[in-house]
Amino acid sequence: MSVSEADLTLSKAPKVRFSPLRVWTLAMATVTQLVRMKILAFLVVFCLLAVGAGFAFSVINPEQQLNLLKSVTLGALQIFSIVIGVVSTALLLPKDMEDRTLYTILSKPVPRFDYLLGKLVGVLLLIGGGLIVMDAVLSVILWLRQSLVLEDTLAEIKQRGMDSPEVQQQVREIVARQGLTWNMHWAVWAIFLKAAVVTTVALLLSCIASSTLFTIVITLCITIIGHGEALIRDFFFTPNLSSTAGRAATLLLAAFCPDLAQFDVVDSVVNGEIVPWAAVFDMTGIAALYVTVYLFVTHLLFCEKEL
């Protein structure tokens, strides 16, 4: 068969369409692959940390006790989600190429977009599942700690002869505001959204870089920059550039480094502040936009990649 005949045959070959079922199959295979790599060992570490944080602090102020518990455990959740997302994504593509699993999958034939989306969904399922488990553990420990703090505080003010109805009500309101509320779950949702954006960035870089270490290091650097974009704008762009140039530089920076500070509601939740529904919708929309754009760019790069 000549070259022209081969090209004609390929042009007449039916194109494989996008399949949600295929993506889901690839996602579940990715979850299984990551579980076998013992990625979820961090769950055990978190549970031990949460239990220790829940009953190790001995602070007179009940508000400080609950604040410390939420601060430590939510911080651990952020570290878990970002580290798992970056490391898992950086390892997947090189490992599939090394094991020649990638070539087997793409020869089915499976569209490259389905492969990328399946890998991304698999990592996000793993992160989401881990966050759900850890959120449940944190909720139980926080509820127990909240009950103990309230009981001890009421007993203390009664011993001091200050147990008037007004004081008791004030204590109950403080403990309830700092205890288990829906804001805790919104904080976990914001942590998941941030991890989804960072994971998509890692997927993009893994299609460019030839080294897993390079992907991990650069993604973590982008994560650090993304948390400090507001400072970069205030100190470098605003004083030194005109309004038009400043906006252009801000958009360019946001394109290369997502503004992760938009998902930072953990401090507000730790302080007992209410997270409004509008903020939740805004965070979700921004994360969806980032993931969609980065995944589209990743697909373009992956289609040009020689395998």
Share of the chain above pLDDT 70, in %: 74
Q: pLDDT above 90 covers what percent of the chain?
A: 15
**Under 8 Å between Cβ of 120 and 295:** yes
Asked whether residue 5 is assigned to any structural domain, the reply reads: no
Interval 27-35 mean pLDDT: 86
pLDDT of residue 4: 45
Answer yes or no: is 217 within a domain.
yes
Q: How far is the first Cα of the chain from the last one, in angstroms, to the nearest whole number?
A: 24
Structure pTM? 0.83
Q: How many domains does the chain have?
A: 1
**Residue 12 falls within a domain, yes or no?**
no
Among residues 89, 72, 70, which one has the least CA distance to residue 181?
A: 70
The predicted pLDDT at position 58 comes to 55
How many CB atoms neighbour CB 227 within 10 A?
16
Question: Has residue 59 got a pLDDT over 80?
Answer: no
Does pLDDT of 2 surpass 60?
Answer: no
Q: What is the pLDDT of residue 34?
A: 82
Mean pLDDT of the chain: 78
Assigned domain for 204 exists: yes
Q: Is residue 7 part of a domain?
A: no
State which amino acid sits at residue 139: S
Give the pLDDT confidence score for residue 63 in this predicted structure: 67
Higher pLDDT pick, 298 / 234: 298
Q: pLDDT (tens digit, 9 = 90+) per residue, 82-113? A: 888 898 888 888 887 777 777 777 777 778 88
**In-domain check, residue 2:** no
Q: What's residue 121's pLDDT?
A: 93
**Domain boundaries, position 153:** 18-304
56 in a structural domain: yes
Distance in angstroms (rounded) separating the CA atoms of residues 306 and 285: 34
In a domain, 3, yes or no: no
Gap between the Cα atoms of 110 and 98, Å rounded: 19
Note the pLDDT tens digit of each residue in 151-171: 777 777 777 766 677 767 776
Burial class (CB in 10 A: 0-12, 13-18, 19+), 240: exposed
The predicted pLDDT at position 11 comes to 41
- Point out the least confidently predicted range of 113-122, 153-162, 183-192, 199-208: 153-162
